């Protein structure tokens, strides 16, 4: 991993009816609502949350 690599994460599927831990991962990334994008650093902690809920997210490198 590069030192200051950034990822833009966007919620593309609804949180309705999801497992509580998956909702917690999305809020832990700082995402508040559908189609909301945040830029997070590429750390193992953030990667773990992204991988857990990858079916709801769109991820791109910045």
Would you say the C-alpha torsion 37, 41, 42, 45 has a positive or negative sign?
Answer: negative
For residue 22, the domain's CATH number is 3.30.1390.20
pTM, two decimals, is 0.90
Q: Tell me whether residue 16 is in a domain.
A: yes
Q: Tell me whether residue 1 is in a domain.
A: no
pLDDT of residue 3: 74
How many Å apart are CA 19 and CA 61, to the nearest integer? 27
Q: Do residues 53 and 13 touch, judged by C-beta distance below 8 A? A: no
Longest dimension (CA), the chain: 37
Q: Tell me whether residue 19 is in a domain.
A: yes
* Range of the structural domain that residue 11 is part of: 6-61
What values do phi and psi take at 7, rounded to 5? -125, 135
Number of domains in the chain: 1
Question: Which residues are within 8 A (CB) of 30 and not within 5 positions of it... i.e. 6 or more apart?
Answer: 38, 40
Q: Tell me whether residue 20 is in a domain.
A: yes
**Tens digit of pLDDT per residue, the chain (62 long)?**
557 899 999 999 999 999 999 999 999 999 999 999 999 999 999 999 999 999 999 999 99
pLDDT of residue 4: 85
């Amino acid at each position: 991993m590069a030192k200051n690599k950034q990822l833009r994460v966007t919620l593309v599927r609804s949180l309705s009816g999801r497992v509580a831990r998956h909702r917690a991962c999305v809020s832990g990334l700082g995402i508040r609502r559908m189609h909301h994008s945040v830029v997070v650093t590429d750390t193992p902690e953030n990667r773990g949350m992204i991988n857990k809920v990858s079916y709801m997210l769109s991820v791109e490198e910045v």
